[in-house]
């Protein structure tokens, strides 16, 4: 639960992002609003507009934090093998399904209005490219890997692939990709 006093300490922006993330998990992107985030932190209804022009701007801030988290997971996954990267990526996506979907664009209206979101996607792919090791085309391989992992994560989140079999499916698919 968000500490309703948090914004009094000069960090209303952060408190609103945390509230929006909670709302995202509870209600999905449609259930996130500036009004609902403000209610969670106990601020005035005018307060969030000093930090976010609208709901999309708030959702973008949450998505950017999600990208930073995924990038951190990929950088810290230990061995830079494709399998380790796959496990880290899937682990993040499956532990944070609502956030993961938001990062992929669910619930954000005009994504083109937020170039920082495109940049976050680019950096995430660059982290993958950096971690795949020596390859003829590390950027192309990273995009292929991202497509595979995103597809599998989405299939699991949507219930088309059983969560319990996701790791085995990832290992099988990644094995086909690297051989």
Taking only the tens place, the pLDDT of each residue in 59-93 is 999 999 999 999 999 999 866 678 888 889 999 99
Q: Mind listing the pLDDT tens digit for each residue in 19-66?
A: 999 999 999 989 999 999 999 999 888 888 889 999 999 999 999 999
60-178 under CATH 2.70.98.10, yes or no? no
- Any idea where the domains of the chain sit in the sequence? 6-50, 60-178
Say yes or no to pLDDT of 141 above 60: yes
CA angle 8, 9, 13 (to 5 degrees): 80
**Residue 8 confidence (pLDDT):** 55
In 3D space, the residue among 31, 44, 42 whose CA is nearest the CA of residue 1 turns out to be: 42
pLDDT, residue 80, reads: 62
Instruction: State the pTM of this model.
Output: 0.87
20-39 per-residue burial string, b: 16 or more CB within 10 A, e: under 16: bbbbbeeeebeebbbebbbe
**Model pLDDT, residue 6:** 45
Over range 112-131, report the average pLDDT. Answer: 90
């Amino acid at each position: 639960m968000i500490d309703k006093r948090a914004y009094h300490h000069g960090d209303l922006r952060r408190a609103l992002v945390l509230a929006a993330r909670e709302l995202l998990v509870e209600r999905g992107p449609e259930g996130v609003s500036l009004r609902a985030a403000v209610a969670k932190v106990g601020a005035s209804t005018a307060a969030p507009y000093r930090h976010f022009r609208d709901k999309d701007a708030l959702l973008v801030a949450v998505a950017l934090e999600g990208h930073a988290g995924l990038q951190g997971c990929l950088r810290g996954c230990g061995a830079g093998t494709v399998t380790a990267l796959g496990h880290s990526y899937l682990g993040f996506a499956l532990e944070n399904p609502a956030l993961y979907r938001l990062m992929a664009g669910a619930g954000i209206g005009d994504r083109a209005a937020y170039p920082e979101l495109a940049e976050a996607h680019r950096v995430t792919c660059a982290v993958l490219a950096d971690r795949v090791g020596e390859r003829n085309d590390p950027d192309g391989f990273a995009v292929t890997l991202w497509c595979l992992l995103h597809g599998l994560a989405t299939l699991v989140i949507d219930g088309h692939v059983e969560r319990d079999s996701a790791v085995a499916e990832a290992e099988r698919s990644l094995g086909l990709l690297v051989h």
